[in-house]
């Protein structure tokens, strides 16, 4: 790579060309779905992105009356982790908990139960146990 302070080298010209886009900001692979302005440096990243536009969502949230679906398992996992904190706090009447202010940690015990500790402004609000299969 000829850019200053980079020092990376590549055995194939195509890899160098793709790498150079990090320096130039070039994003030649544009999403073809109407209303989406995303663009990518690599074709593979574009293809991965375009999956989110598919009408079929094979990974569905299991919460009652949610109906939210995802095209990728990892996105469902993130949704379940972040939404679970909010849903449980509302269910328990802890309406003062807000995700943006809440820090939580996950502890795994030998009994395969996961404990979520909700901490708001330095004090423990509630300890809740869930089976780890909900996290998978």
Domain match, 72 and 128 both: yes
At 2, the pLDDT band (50, 70, 90 cuts) reads confident
CA distance 38 to 52: 12
Residue 2 covered by a domain: no
- Residue 128: the pLDDT is 39
C-alpha 44/C-alpha 54 separation (Å) is 16
98 and 118 together in one domain: yes
Q: Which residue, among 39, 61, 65, has the nearest Cα to 50 in the 3D structure?
A: 39
CA–CA dist 98, 103 (Å, integer): 10
Residue range of the domain that includes 30 = 13-53
pLDDT of residue 131: 32
One domain for residues 68 and 117: yes
Is residue 113 domain-resident?
Answer: yes
The predicted structure's pLDDT at residue 1: 86
Residues 118 and 95 in one domain: yes
Cα-based distances in Å from 71 to 23, 77, 78, 84: 31, 11, 13, 20
pLDDT in tens, 73-113: 888 888 877 766 655 555 554 444 344 434 444 444 444 43
Query: What pLDDT digit, counting tens, does each position of 9-38 carry?
Result: 999 999 999 999 989 999 999 999 999 999
Q: Looking at residue 58, what is its pLDDT?
A: 86
Whole-number pLDDT of residue 120: 38
66 lies in some domain: yes
In a domain, residue 7? The reply is no
Q: Which residues contact 134 (CB under 8 A, 6 or more apart)?
A: 80, 84, 114
Is 4 among the domain residues?
A: no
Number of structural domains, the chain? 2
């Amino acid at each position: 790579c000829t850019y200053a302070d980079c020092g990376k080298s590549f055995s194939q010209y195509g890899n160098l060309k793709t790498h150079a886009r990090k320096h130039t900001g070039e994003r030649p692979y544009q999403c073809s779905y109407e209303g989406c302005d995303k663009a990518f440096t690599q074709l593979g990243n574009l293809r991965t992105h375009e999956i989110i536009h598919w009408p079929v969502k094979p990974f569905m949230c299991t919460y009652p009356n949610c109906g939210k679906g995802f095209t990728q398992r990892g996105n469902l996992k993130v949704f379940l982790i972040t939404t679970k904190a909010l849903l449980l706090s509302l269910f328990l009447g802890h309406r003062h908990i807000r995700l943006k202010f809440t820090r939580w940690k996950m502890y795994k015990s030998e009994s395969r139960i996961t404990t979520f500790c909700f901490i708001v402004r330095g004090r423990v609000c509630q300890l809740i146990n869930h089976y780890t299969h909900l996290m998978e």
